[in-house]
């Protein structure tokens, strides 16, 4: 039997020298104030066992990790019709790049780059009369934590400095791939990125993707087994920005990262694991968090390969 607690404690000790490296996401002022030395990690197994180390219960801004939940809502609403409006290929460019949109006529490469997430947000807006409430309710149910909430200061900070996202949204709208007003799409997007969760919340909240689309806490079928498999595939190929190939090589699991310093990964039929360290590498992924997940798959011998 794998001693997850000992492994997590070993990882916490071994990555300490990395906590001073990298840089926090200072282009979002609210995130710039988060101390470098923060680190948390949590594992939740399919039978509900929880293991944690460090600041695993401290909430932080999930940022792009929220794209998994909006993608889930969009797939619940329109299924495979979503792929007529957003692709499923790695981008090879920065997560907020405008370059490919012009070359590819406003069709974002995948739902995890910002352009793709804006299209997904547009789908969610069309499918729900109260999209913010629906999203928050969904996340609370998946994480089994009804106290989860957004951080309004983060949303305000993002809106005040969201010029590139505004450019992306207007560009997509110019190609007819957004149905709602740009401001409405942006406001929902900034809201989803401002949601605050801990490593424990995220590990619990992603466990449905390790369980064939079924939520262990509620018994709900969140996604079909086929859809869950597809989302995991997208996380593996597109979930860590344009470092996905390198992440798959070193870590070997489907994962989604955010510039708040969080990364969540799943080992299908086994567990979900979340890590948080706010300082990022050059690709926008948590520097110490990426190293911690590589240590995790090495020490446990668990990966999808």
Residues with a catalytic annotation lie at 64, 67, 189, 241, 259
What is the C-alpha separation between 237 and 256, in angstroms, rounded?
10
CB crowding 183-220: b at 16 or more within 10 Å, else e:
ebbbebbbbbbbbbbbbbbbbbbbbbbbbbbbbbeeee
What is the C-alpha separation between 107 and 49, in angstroms, rounded?
41
Q: Over the Cα atoms of the chain, what is R_g? A: 18
Parallel/antiparallel/unpaired status of strands 255-257 and 195-197: unpaired
What is the C-alpha separation between 156 and 278, in angstroms, rounded?
20
> DSSP for 157-202?
HHHHT-HHHHHHHHHHHHTT---S-HHHHHHHHHHHHTEEE-HHHH
């Amino acid at each position: 039997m794998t001693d997850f607690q000992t492994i997590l404690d070993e990882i916490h000790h071994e990555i300490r020298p990395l906590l001073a490296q990298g840089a926090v996401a200072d282009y979002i002022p609210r995130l710039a104030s988060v101390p470098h030395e923060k680190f948390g990690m949590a594992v939740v197994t399919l039978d509900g066992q929880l293991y944690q180390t460090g600041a695993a219960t401290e909430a932080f801004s999930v940022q792009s990790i929220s794209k998994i939940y909006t993608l889930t809502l969009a797939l619940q609403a329109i299924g495979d019709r979503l792929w007529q409006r957003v692709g499923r290929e790695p981008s090879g460019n920065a997560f907020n790049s405008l370059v490919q949109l012009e070359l590819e006529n406003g069709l974002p490469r995948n739902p995890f780059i910002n352009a793709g997430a804006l299209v997904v947000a547009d789908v969610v807006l069309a499918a729900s009369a109260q999209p913010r409430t629906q999203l928050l309710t969904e996340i609370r149910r998946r994480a089994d934590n009804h106290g989860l909430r957004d951080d309004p200061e983060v949303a305000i900070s993002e809106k005040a400095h969201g010029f590139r996202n505004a450019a992306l949204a207007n560009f997509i709208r110019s190609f007819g791939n957004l149905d709602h007003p740009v401001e409405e799409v942006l406001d929902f997007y900034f809201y989803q990125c401002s949601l605050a969760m801990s490593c424990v919340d995220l590990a619990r909240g992603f466990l449905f993707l390790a369980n064939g689309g079924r939520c262990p806490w509620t018994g709900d079928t969140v996604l079909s087994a086929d859809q869950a498999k597809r989302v995991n595939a997208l996380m593996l190929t597109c979930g860590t920005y344009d470092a996905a190939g390198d992440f798959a090589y070193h870590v070997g699991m489907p994962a989604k990262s955010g510039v708040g310093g969080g990364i969540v990964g799943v080992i299908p039929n086994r567990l979900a694991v979340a890590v948080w360290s706010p300082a990022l590498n050059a690709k926008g992924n948590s520097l110490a968090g990426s190293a911690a997940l590589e240590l995790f798959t090495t020490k446990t011998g668990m990966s999808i390969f």
